Amino acid sequence: IAQLLNKGKPYFTDDDNRFIQEVAGGHPYLLQLAASVLWELYEEEKEAEKEENVVKRQQHAKQEFYNRTKETLNHIWQSWAPMTRTVFTFIALAHFKTEPTFLEPQINLKPNIKNLSQFKDELQQLEQQGFIQKDEQIDNGWRIAPTIFLDLIADKTEPELDALFRN
């Protein structure tokens, strides 16, 4: 990943590289697209604005990246079994407390999952596919990677997500 991102050195700062890795995780397609979106935004800016607009540019890049990947992310979401979606959503709900999204999640769910250890198969599948990572700093011990999936969850309706926890 670092080797790919080093190609953007004339434009990308270390913070940009961190941003790209966070939103795209380790998925080659997502990495390439996130870097491409950020690169395009750099090229659109005047030289004097490049230093001033890092946060604004990254926010704009994340929104554009989500717009371009939403359909793909939804296909991935739909390919998962309902229980896998439930576990993923549960992890995302805890992750929202530490990771901002450009969409404001209007989700007030209180899932009745007490312990994720009962979902070993789902956790293993999501981890092997690179969609979650262990992280002891988050309440349930897992984080969403790539974080662009948090925006997908934030974009879902509360009744749609609540249905996952009623099954």
Measured distance CA(111)–CA(91) in Å, rounded: 11
Tokens (6 digits) for 46: 């005047």
Alpha helices per DSSP H over the chain: 2-6, 14-24, 28-44, 54-79, 82-95, 120-128, 148-155, 158-166
Contact criterion met (CB below 8 Å) for 19 and 46: no
For 105, residues 6+ apart whose C-beta sits below 8 A from its C-beta are 96, 153, 154
Q: Per this entry, what is the length of the chain?
A: 167
Measured distance CA(89)–CA(150) in Å, rounded: 9
Query: From its phi and psi, is residue 105 left (phi > 0), alpha (psi between -120 and 50) or beta?
Result: beta
**What confidence score (pLDDT) does residue 51 get?**
58
For 57, residues 6+ apart whose C-beta sits below 8 A from its C-beta are 38, 41, 42, 45
**What is the DSSP code (8-state) at residue 116?**
G
**What confidence score (pLDDT) does residue 147 get?**
92
Cis previous bond, 105, omega within 30: no
**What confidence score (pLDDT) does residue 65 get?**
95
H or E element in which residue 133 lies: strand 132-134
Please report the sign of the dihedral spanned by the C-alpha atoms of residue 24, residue 11, residue 8, residue 3. Answer: negative
**What confidence score (pLDDT) does residue 105 get?**
59
**What confidence score (pLDDT) does residue 45 get?**
74
Q: Tens of pLDDT along the chain (167 residues)?
A: 777 777 667 678 888 888 999 999 989 899 999 999 988 888 887 654 655 677 788 888 999 999 999 999 999 999 999 999 999 998 988 887 776 665 555 556 566 667 788 899 999 999 999 999 999 888 888 999 999 999 999 888 888 888 887 76
